[in-house]
Amino acid sequence: MNLADEHIEQIISDNGGNFTPDEFLDDREMLHPIIVQELVAWRNWHGFSTQITSAYRTTGSHITGKAIDVLVWKDWRESQPDPLHLWRLGTTWPFLGFGIYFDWNDGIGLHLDVIREGRQRPLRWIRSEGNYYYQLPSTGRFWDSDGNRTTLQQEINTYLANSD
């Protein structure tokens, strides 16, 4: 699917505005319309400034055109909502994939996607110090591929202790 800037502008306008096509970065014509629509509607729902840091790229889930990474700012480029609030913003909205990244240089990063293929339920994960921990639906706990466990609160506490 090819999204010309005019089409992106229409999707933005139809879903409440607050973005420009340029904010969707290079190769934005490769994005699927649904991720543009969901991001714009989500941004308008939560009301915080939202900076797209990665949209379409030729690696990972972003190659589908259905994934975007963002930073959410309470005060532009100075402070973010607290980590638990960021988690709630991403998991309350019906994204099919949501990851929270505690190891970004510019703050807490969020991965948002609408990828349905191969998923029985929404996928949720935490990345901390380069390790991915995926949430198990049965327990709500997070496990990495080596069997190590963490909790959202544990990762929030570590992040806050290291950011002082």
pLDDT in tens, 57-88: 999 999 999 999 999 999 998 999 999 999 99
Q: What is the pLDDT of residue 52?
A: 97
Q: What is the pLDDT of residue 137?
A: 82
125 has pLDDT over 60 = yes
Domain membership flag for residue 56: yes
Domain membership flag for residue 46: yes
Q: What is the pLDDT of residue 118?
A: 81
Domain membership flag for residue 160: no
Q: What is the pTM of this model?
A: 0.93
Domain membership flag for residue 143: no
How many angstroms separate the CA atoms of 163 and 7, rounded?
Answer: 41
Domain membership flag for residue 128: no
3 has pLDDT over 80 = no
Q: Quick one: pLDDT band at residue 9, thresholds 50, 70, 90?
A: very high
How confident is the model over 127-136, as pLDDT tens digits? 999 999 999 9
Domain membership flag for residue 101: yes
Nearby residues of 21 by Cβ (< 8 Å), 6 or more positions away: 5, 8, 9, 12, 28
Q: Which CATH number is 95's domain given? A: 3.30.1380
Domain count, the chain: 1
Domain membership flag for residue 159: no
Closest C-alpha to 150, from 160, 135, 130: 135
Q: Percent of the chain beyond pLDDT 70?
A: 98
Q: What is the pLDDT of residue 41?
A: 96
Q: What is the pLDDT of residue 163?
A: 85
32 has pLDDT over 60 = yes
Domain membership flag for residue 71: yes
Alpha-helical runs (H) found in the chain = 5-14, 33-46, 83-92, 152-162
Q: What is the pLDDT of residue 2?
A: 54
How confident is the model over 82-124, as pLDDT tens digits? 999 999 999 999 999 999 999 998 999 999 999 998 887 899 9
- First CA to last CA across the chain, in angstroms? 45
| Residue-range definition of the domain harbouring residue 53 | 5-117
